[in-house]
Amino acid sequence: MSNIPLKQSGVRWLWLAIVIFFADIGIKLFVMDNMGYGWANRIEVLPFFNLLYVHNYGAAFSFLSDQAGWQRWLFTGIAFVVTALLTYWMSKLPAKEKWNNIAYAMIIGGAVGNVFDRVVHGFVVDYLDFFWGNYHWPAFNLADTTICIGAAMIILDGFRRKEDAAA
């Protein structure tokens, strides 16, 4: 990573994080205002997909959701550190390196969306329920989706760079 003028750096891609943040919060507010809470109030959309409104007090897959509340601040702190680190990396990358900048912006937008929920509500709002038969994948939201896509993009880029180095 090199010293690049801020105007030419990847921070120009932070607009994507802002769009993701507002889309995520908008959807969550819509769900909270228009859907009944819990599995009994789910809306069946497809034979493998429901919309529902549930609270997640933990992290992915409700990790640590049964704790006394300290995990809320742990996950908030982790999100702030990751956001700061990725923003710093974006400031060192040229804006033309779209792949990594988009990946970082997706993670930042999702992380900040979930932090907003944790700070304002004390939990994260989840509303997407995919299932097969009686097996339900843990409910999740747009923020979780963009975090996972961004992380997958970073992993794929690592494989791509290894192939380029080997060639």
Residue 61 lies in a domain: no
* pTM summary value: 0.88
Residue 147 lies in a domain: yes
Residue 58 lies in a domain: no
- pLDDT (tens, 9 = 90+) of the chain, 167 residues, equals 567 888 899 999 999 999 999 999 999 999 999 999 998 999 999 999 999 999 988 666 555 555 556 667 888 899 999 999 999 999 999 999 999 999 999 999 999 999 999 999 989 999 999 999 999 999 999 999 999 999 999 999 988 877 666 65
Residue 94 lies in a domain: yes
Determine whether 164 is an active site residue: no
- Rounded to whole angstroms, the Cα distance separating 71 from 158 reads 31
Domain count, the chain: 1
Q: Which residue in 117, 126, 157, 164 is the catalytic one?
A: 126
Determine whether 126 is an active site residue: yes
Residue 47 lies in a domain: no
Interacting residues of 15 by C-beta distance below 8 A, sequence separation 6+: 105
Residue 52 lies in a domain: no
CA angle 31, 14, 150 (to 5 degrees): 70
Quote the distance between the C-alpha of residue 154 and its chain's center: 14
Residue 48 lies in a domain: no
Q: Which residue in 33, 144, 157, 164 is the catalytic one?
A: 144
Determine the structural domain holding residue 101 and report its residue range: 6-34+69-165
For the chain, state the CA radius of gyration: 18
Residue 39 lies in a domain: no
